[in-house]
Amino acid sequence: MSKLSPSHRNSVVVGALLRSRYYEYLVESVLGQGTFGTVAKCRRIADRKTVAIKMLKKQDKQAKAEMAVLFKLKCLDSDKCNLVRWHRSFFSNDHICLEFEHLDKSLYDFLKGRNGQPLHIKEIRPIVQQLANALDHLKTARIIHADLKLENIMLVNHAQEPFRVKVIDFGLASDVSAAKLGSYLQSRAYRSPEIFLGLPFTEAIDMWSLGIIAATLYLGFFPFPCSSNYDMMKYIVEAIGQPPNTMLTLGSQTGLYFQQDHDPTNSTWKLKAPEQFWRECGIQSQETRALKLCTLYDIMHIRAIDGETMFDRGAESCDMLDFVDLLIRMLHLEAAKRITPRQVLKHQFTSMCNMTWMYHLSSYVQSSSELLNPTTDNRKAVCGSLQQPSSTTTHPIQQNLPSASAERSQYSGNRMQASTGVSTPLAQAHRSNTDTSSSYSLKRKRDDSDSRDQRKRVKTDQAPPTSSSKALTVASSSSYSLKRKRDDSDSRDQRKRVKTDPAPPTSSSKALTDEPDKRSVPAESRAPSGRKRKSPDVEYVGRQRGDNRN
C-alpha cells in the first residue's frame, strides 16, 4: 500500500484521544497505513476493551462506499462468516472512524515472523476452508471483496485458536451490480486474468486471489511474482496456459500483452515477446520468479513426503494430489468455469472425505482433522463447512466416535464398553455409510442371542418326564401307528376291489349309496310314465338267477 500524506499521518498520534458521542478511545499504536486511511490500536476507556479503529477521510467517496458494504454485512454473524466484526462508526477530527474488533496478526506478518518458512499442507487446509466460507457468504450477499490478500487475512488468536482467520478491509468492496468494466482492482500479484484483460468481472475474481494465497502459503513465495503487468501475464501463460480466444477478443486491454495473427480462416492471438513489449511500452521484462512453473503440478515436487508409516505417506501423497487439483480449479482462466466457494467447501482437499477410512491408521489424518476443527472456548465451531444450519443428519466431521481401542474390542467380540470419551470426528465420515447396517446387524445378533438363551431356559426349566407319562406317550404313539396301518390296509384293499370289479354291493350298501342319488338321476334314464321301475334288488336277483342258469 502507498503511504499517506504527512498531514494525514500526523493526525494519528500515539497517546491521542479519539472522541465519539458516547465513547472515548486512547490510541496505543498504529497498526497500518494505506491509501485510504490509517488503522490504530485503541483502548476504549469506558470498559478498557481493546479495539481497532480505521480512520478515513470524511470527504472520500471510498469511505462512504465501504460503510455501505459494512451496513449490508451487519446482519451476518461475523464469527460464522469469518468476517471481521464491525461495531460502530463515528466522526472525529474531520475523519470517519470505523470501530472493529481487535485481531491478532495478518497472515503476511505471520509468514514474515517464520522467516519465510511456508506452511504445511495440513495447516493450509483450515485457512482455505474458512476463507471459502467467507467468500460464500459474500457471494450470497452479492459482494465482491476485490482486495483479498495475505495482509487482509487476520489470525484471530493464534495462540489459543490456531489458524482461525477472518477477512478484513472492505475498502475496495462493492456490489456485483456496481462492478465497472475496466476497473483496476486487486493487488497485482493476486489479480485475475479478467482484470488484466479488461473483461467484465464478478465475485469469481476473489476465488482467483484465494488460489494465489493458497499457493503462496505452500511455496513461501508468490507463484507469479512480477514487476509489471506483462510479466504477470507471461508467467500465467507459461504455467497455466493462454486464455481462450473468446476472452482475448472481448478484452479491452488484450492488445497490451497479445498480438493478433490474421489468418484467412481463423483469427488467433499470440503473447508478445519481451523485446516487442519493451519496444512498444518502454518497460523491460524482468525475471523475478524463484521457481519457474511449467505446470501447477510442478508444485508437488518441491517437498519430499516424510511420513513415519506407510499410511502416513499414503495419506500425505493423496492430500497433495487433492491440493493441486483444488489449485487448478481455483486458478482456472475462465471465470465461468472457476470453482465456486461452496464447491471448495465440498472438495476432497477441504472436506478430507477421501481419507476418512485411514483415520485410525494414520497419525497424519488425525492431526489434520484436529487442525480442521478449531473451536472457541464456548465450543462454537468456526470452520466454514461447520457453520451450515443444523439438521437431523450431523456433518461427518462433527460427530464423535469411540476410540480406536474401543472400536477394535467391539469388532473382536469383546462386550466391554469403551470408557474413554475420546472424540474421533473424522472417523465418523468413514462409518457414516455403515452406521445403520452395523447397528442393525449388532441388534440382530443380540436378538438372536437372546432368543437362543430363552429357548435354552425353556428347555432346562421343563421337568423331566415320569415313567407313567413316558408309558402313556409310547402307548398313544403305538395306537396311532396301528390305526394308521389299518387305515392304509383298508385303502389298499378298497383300491384292489375297484380294479378287479368287486362283488356287487349288498342291499344295505345300495340303500346307503343309491337312495340319496335318486333325485340326481337324469330324466331320460328314468322309467316311462305308467310303467313301474324295478327296484335295484329285484333287478339284481333276476340277473343273478340268469347267471346261475347259464
Of 155, 149, 147, nearest to 106 by C-alpha is 155
The H or E element containing residue 413 is none
Please, are residues 292 and 231 in contact by the beta-carbon 8 Å criterion? no
d(CA 358, CA 315): 8
Please, are residues 178 and 132 in contact by the beta-carbon 8 Å criterion? no
Lookup: cell for 189: 500479484
d(CA 137, CA 170): 14
- Backbone dihedral angles phi then psi of residue 397, each to the nearest 5 degrees: -70, -25
C-alpha torsion 454→459→461→464, nearest 10: 180
User: What is the three-class DSSP state of 481?
Assistant: helix
User: Which residues neighbour 320 within 8 Å (Cβ) at sequence distance 6 or greater?
Assistant: 121, 300, 305
Alpha helix ranges (H) inside 305-340: 310-330
The helices-and-strands tally (H runs, E runs) of the chain is 20, 13
d(CA 204, CA 182): 16
Q: Active-site residues: which are they?
A: 147
Count Cα neighbours of 170 within 13 Å in the Cβ-side half-sphere: 27
Of 136, 156, 154, nearest to 145 by C-alpha is 136
Rg (CA), the chain: 45
Strand pairing partners for 83? 167
- Residue 54 annotated as lining a ligand binding site: yes
d(CA 358, CA 314): 10
Amino acid at 54: K
Give the other-Cβ count within 10 Å of 415's Cβ: 6
User: What is the three-class DSSP state of 332?
Assistant: coil
Amino acid at 2: S
Alpha helix ranges (H) inside 168-290: 193-197, 204-219, 229-239, 245-250, 274-281
Please, are residues 57 and 95 in contact by the beta-carbon 8 Å criterion? yes
Sheet containing strand 49-57, edge to edge, reads: 17-19, 24-33, 37-44, 49-57, 95-101, 86-92
Give the other-Cβ count within 10 Å of 367's Cβ: 14
Annotated binding site for ATP: 54
Q: Which residue positions form the known binding site?
A: 54
